[in-house]
Amino acid sequence: MSILGTPNKPAPAKNNGPLLRYIAIGCGLLLVIAIAFSVGTGIGFAFGRFTGDGPRTAAAPTVATEEAAPVAPERDLSNADMEIFWEAMGLLERDFYGELPAGQERSYGAIRGVLGLLDDPNTSFMAPDQAKSFLESMDGSFEGIGATVELVEDGSAVRLVEPFENQPAWNAGLRRNDLVIAIDGVAVSEMADLNVAISKIKGPKGSSVVLTIKRPSTDETFDVTVVRDVIQIPIVFTDTYGQDEDIAYIRLSRFSDDSGRRVRDAVDEATRKDLRGIIFDLRGNPGGLLREAVRVSSVFLEGERVLIERFSDGSEQIYDTEDKAAVDAALPIVLLVDEGSASASEIVAGALQDAGRAVLIGTTTFGKGSVQLPHTLSDGSMMRVTIARWYTPADRSIDKTGLDPDIVVEITDEQIEADEDPQLDRAIELLETGQ
């Protein structure tokens, strides 16, 4: 989701180069409705993103670069095409019966109009307040309803990809795949894009928003009032399972700064005792920083390729593991994924699957295989531009298709509400019995 010019591309190289890239989550942008709206998208992701631009939390995912984005190229605004634009604007200013939007809003509208022609939901524009929320979300600051979302293809609704347990949306009774068709009485179909919807859903702690929900499973439509709050989602959660408590469980909620170190610390702590195996849970993870996807992969892999990034000019950037693995190569690993696993989550899952290092259990992942470069514009607004596609080490593209698990295990809303987890149960069974 972005516009204006083509950023400079990194020179082809076979190293890990700049990794602070946001891999945005597809299908319109997935955002974890915390401040803006994760992994992407969402979404994951939210956020969704960043590479790890999977679904997002009130902000959107992407894979960003650590280096400063290149300055937008100079443009000749006096050419014939732009003259037509100014001619049309002059006619509107002279003849329109009504009130025209302010100059800044006109500019934003023009940008969004061009972006709408690109057939790329991940190239996007955010007004200054939306950009601020987005950046805050990457720092782990969330205020909102607590859900990973995406915009449906026809723009008529926002789909809840993953409401976080015990967070405002969940506590208000909202569940996975619920469709938000109106926000405070305004139809989502009348909103310019997902960012606009996000700006209406987000808000400070203690404030409320009325969401009109259509539940596909029952075709029921109803209003829900959600009181916003500070979203508390631990980046890494650990537990143990099995009769002898010898199965380590590690869940990563997003690929934010320092996620790689936190996962490594969790694995180091778990492997202080003899283990039967490790369950690494990336369900509902919308993605985040590409750099951290490489670092998390390096916890489980050593001397292996993590992903290939390809640009429009045919050049490519190859990312390999960058550290010694924290687990013995013989220790079994099960990786849990679902439709909320996006972007950076898919990078890690694809790398471990291609290397034969983990068994994937769950459902097909989101399918966010592009990389976005965020540009902060002079007025504080932001444009995220898709600059590349990424591929797994085996040269697989997962964009719009996702990764298929090795063992498919579905989970229903009824099972979730009953605190049942057949995907986790299957992972434990596999590690205990080998089957």
Residue positions annotated with a catalytic role: 343, 368, 372
State the Cα–Cα distance between residues 110 and 247, nearest whole angstrom.
54
Per-residue three-class SS string for 420-434: CCHHHHHHHHHHHHC
Give the number of other Cβ atoms within 10 Å of residue 206's Cβ. 10
Q: How far apart are the first and last CA of the chain?
A: 44
Give the number of other Cβ atoms within 10 Å of residue 407's Cβ. 13
User: Strand locations in 264-343, DSSP E?
Assistant: 277-281, 305-311, 316-320, 333-337
Reference 259, options 140, 382, 396; nearest CA is 140
Burial string for 274-300 (b: 16+ CB within 10 Å, else e) reads ebbbbbbbbbbbbbbbbbbbbbbbbbb
Reference 291, options 136, 135, 64, 67; nearest CA is 64
Residues 6+ apart with CB under 8 A from 104: 379
State the Cα–Cα distance between residues 124 and 199, nearest whole angstrom.
14
State the Cα–Cα distance between residues 357 and 349, nearest whole angstrom.
10
Residues 6+ apart with CB under 8 A from 337: 282, 283, 345, 349, 360, 361, 362, 363, 365, 403, 405
Burial (Cβ within 10 Å: 0-12, 13-18, ≥19) of residue 138: buried
3-state secondary structure of 49: coil
Reference 263, options 243, 237, 290; nearest CA is 237
Does a cis peptide bond (omega within 30 degrees of 0) precede residue 367?
no
- Side-chain half-sphere CA neighbours of 14 within 13 A: 4
State the Cα–Cα distance between residues 301 and 307, nearest whole angstrom.
13
